[in-house]
Amino acid sequence: MQTLISEALALVGERWSLLVVRELSLGRRRFDEIQAATGAPRAVLADRLRRLTAAGICATRTYQPPGSRSRREYVLTDAGVDLLPLLAAFVDWGERHLGPDAVRDIEYRHLACGGHVTAQLVCECGQLVSPRDQLVAQINP
Amino acid sequence: MQTLISEALALVGERWSLLVVRELSLGRRRFDEIQAATGAPRAVLADRLRRLTAAGICATRTYQPPGSRSRREYVLTDAGVDLLPLLAAFVDWGERHLGPDAVRDIEYRHLACGGHVTAQLVCECGQLVSPRDQLVAQINP
DNA sequence: CAGTATCCGGTGCGATACTG
DNA sequence: CAGTATCGCACCGGATACTG
């Protein structure tokens, strides 16, 4: 049975996929730029970009800078941007529970006020929900 | 360079790890119970439980039900419970962007009001932050 | 600059069967 | 009930070199 989590993991759970999304979210758009930042092997990176594109998480576009030859660039689609809460949740968890040897990848800030942004559980009633003592998990019927 | 995201992915990015956490969050505690619910091969499941335990995400305990022999059970630690926003983010993303063929794994509800709970970006100023147009991502200095 | 083409080693993972 | 023990394949991923 394919569940949401297992399907989503199949798309972005591989080793480099989310790191590619992270780079794209930072505004890096070109192959070599992403390759250098992540250290992913070129063949693997090409494959991940293909899969992310096929999944509608990023889109590719060819453009022509004046005076040089055409280039290709990758940008996140809306579906890709919607992965940012997931990345933020990874970072938040890592910061709290991994040793200080791990480098903080990325910092999310609120455009309006510049404040630090984290991923939180929020109820439709508007309240923040602590996973420790205010949350109920149930199987979907 | 080890970043928070890549380290966290190394711990819980494998195929069955987050599914095991999901089962534990539903209150399933025993090996066979988790095995049946996920369908993971027994050897793989044993390894994942070992790794999750070593990482401090779950803990194992032996207890003695009256009248039967001793059993072992697994429970999420606080670090494991702190993964639930991550799971919620997966579910939210999948529900929005995967086809209707995928089954919703799990439903999170607010203990106080019973309302539906989702993972959202929240600024320290208290406002919800849309990833589409209110978020700035920057590399950490 | 943006990939492909090979080659190859490690291992994740599935299936099955066996123990305490 | 809770795992180990084996086996084998597919595939991920690293290195290197080559093309448009």
Q: How distant is C1' of D13 from CA of B9, in Å?
A: 16
Question: Model confidence at A126, in pLDDT bands (50, 70, 90)?
Answer: very high
Name residues whose C-beta falls within 8 Å of residue A54's C-beta, 6 or more positions apart in sequence: none
Which tokens is B56 given?
């401090």
Contact B19 A7 (CB under 8 A): no
CB atoms < 10 A from the CB of A18, how many? 23
Given the structure tokens 């032996």, which residue do they identify?
B62
Q: A6-15, A33-42, A47-56, A80-89: which has the minimum mean pLDDT? A: A6-15
CA B125 to chain A, closest CA, distance in angstroms equals 6
What pLDDT score was predicted for residue B70?
A: 76
**Please, are residues B52 and B20 in contact by the beta-carbon 8 Å criterion?**
yes
> pLDDT: is B64 or B25 the higher one?
B25
* Pairwise CA distance, residues A69 & A55, whole Å: 28
Greatest alpha-carbon pair distance for chain B in Å reads 60
* Pairwise CA distance, residues B79 & B56, whole Å: 7
Identify the three-state secondary structure at position B34. helix
CA A37 to chain B, closest CA, distance in angstroms equals 10
Best B4, B111, B130, B133 member to test A by mutation, with max A CBs in 10 Å, is B4
* Pairwise CA distance, residues A37 & A23, whole Å: 8
Sign of the four-CA dihedral B53, B106, B13, B44: positive
What pLDDT score was predicted for residue B25?
A: 97
User: Is residue B128 over pLDDT 90?
Assistant: yes
Question: Model confidence at A141, in pLDDT bands (50, 70, 90)?
Answer: low
User: Is residue A69 over pLDDT 80?
Assistant: no
**Please, are residues B14 and B41 in contact by the beta-carbon 8 Å criterion?**
no
* pTM of the predicted protein model: 0.95
* Pairwise CA distance, residues A120 & A88, whole Å: 9
For residue range A97-112, list pLDDT tens digits in order: 998 888 888 999 999 9
* Pairwise CA distance, residues A61 & A74, whole Å: 6
DSSP B97-130: HS-TTSBP-EEEEETTT--BEEEEEEETTS-B--
User: Is residue B141 over pLDDT 70?
Assistant: no
Closest CA relative to residue A108, chosen from A99, A100, A120: A120
User: Which residues in chain B are closer than 8 Å to A123, comparing Cβ atoms?
Assistant: 110, 112-113, 115-117
What pLDDT score was predicted for residue B112?
A: 98
